[in-house]
């Protein structure tokens, strides 16, 4: 993968490709940044382009074309009926999300018990 050639020859051709992409989602915003070191041209400060992460998340969650591929909860998929061989294919089938969900649920239960005993 590291040795794969780019599909563009320069930043200008990359910009042309980007302009051909469909415009979707929240608007891009920009801000000029002024780093103290490492600026190649001190007369022209670099521009940082970004999208508001909350707006991006709202867009993704409201896009009906993406709903089928979104996982809302961790899941365990087994390859055999005895449930001894797990299939781990993506983030939702791994252990981390499952462990965090269980840990968070346990913490909430402990807090609820603690608050009711006050």
Give 10-residue mean pLDDT values along the chain (118 residues).
72 87 87 71 78 92 85 89 92 86 76 71
pTM over 0.75: no
In a domain, 18, yes or no: yes
In a domain, 6, yes or no: no
**For residue 62, what are its two tokens?**
């409201």
* Domain extent for 103: 11-53+60-116
In a domain, 3, yes or no: no
In a domain, 32, yes or no: yes
In a domain, 96, yes or no: yes
Count of domains for the chain: 1
Say what the pLDDT of residue 81 is.
Answer: 93
Closest CA to 45 of 54, 57, 36, 55: 36
Dihedral over Cα of 90, 95, 101, 102: its sign: positive
């Amino acid at each position: 993968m590291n040795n794969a050639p780019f599909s563009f020859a320069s930043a200008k051709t990359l910009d042309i490709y980007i302009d051909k992409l469909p415009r979707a989602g929240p608007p891009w915003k920009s801000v000029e940044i002024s780093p103290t070191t490492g600026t190649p041209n001190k007369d022209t400060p670099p521009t940082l382009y970004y999208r508001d992460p909350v707006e991006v998340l709202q867009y993704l969650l409201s896009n009906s074309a993406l709903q089928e591929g979104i996982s809302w909860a961790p899941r365990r998929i087994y390859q055999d009926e005895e449930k001894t061989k797990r299939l781990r294919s993506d983030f939702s089938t791994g252990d981390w999300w499952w462990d965090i969900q269980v840990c968070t649920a346990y913490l909430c239960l402990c807090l609820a018990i603690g608050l009711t005993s006050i």
